[in-house]
């Protein structure tokens, strides 16, 4: 009986691990992001120092975060290729208030803001350049 319980626990833990890995780096559209509160969006954008009138990619990182360098390279390349998209990197060790305000629980975390300053997409992990492009191109139109 105890072997069955151990086996079941291992299968359950494996399924949870698989599910978490599948979500890593996947950009998710945030609910209500297209019609969000304009005042809150302006406040978030001002807090981060985002330029009004252009979309921005903000990624939260730390010097000790290995995958954060990968995010930096991917985001810089996509922003350079598309033009018109701002890129901001927030070091959570130097700015823990930003991490708290945006509920950053894991690194790297990437957030895409539209030109109004609303959070539109979010990813925990390293997003692909294709995902970033597909999220950003409509925001530039």
Residue 21 corresponds to which tokens in the numbers above? Answer: 């890995």
Average model confidence (pLDDT) across the chain: 86
Q: How many CB atoms lie within 10 A of CB 131?
A: 19
- Asked if the model's pLDDT at residue 58 lies above 90, the reply is yes
- Asked if the model's pLDDT at residue 99 lies above 90, the reply is yes
Q: Tell me the mean pLDDT in the region 113-139.
A: 93
Bigger pLDDT: 68 vs 41: 68
Containing H/E element for 56?
strand 56-61
pTM for this model (two decimals): 0.77
Which domains are seen in the chain, by residue range?
2-140 (3.40.30.10)
Q: What percent of the chain has pLDDT over 90?
A: 62
């Amino acid at each position: 009986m105890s072997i069955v319980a151990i086996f079941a626990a291992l299968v359950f833990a494996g399924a949870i691990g698989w599910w978490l890995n599948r979500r890593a780096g996947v950009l998710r559209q945030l609910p209500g992001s297209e019609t969000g509160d304009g005042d809150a969006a302006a406040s978030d954008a001002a807090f981060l120092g985002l330029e009004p009138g252009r979309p921005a990619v903000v990624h939260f990182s730390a010097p000790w975060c290995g995958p954060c360098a990968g995010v930096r390279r991917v985001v810089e390349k996509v922003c350079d290729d598309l033009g018109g998209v701002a890129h901001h990197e927030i070091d959570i060790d130097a700015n823990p208030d930003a991490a708290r305000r945006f509920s950053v629980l894991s690194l790297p975390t990437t957030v895409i803001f539209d030109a109004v300053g609303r959070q539109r997409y979010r990813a925990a992990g390293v997003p692909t350049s294709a995902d970033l492009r597909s999220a950003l191109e409509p925001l530039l139109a």
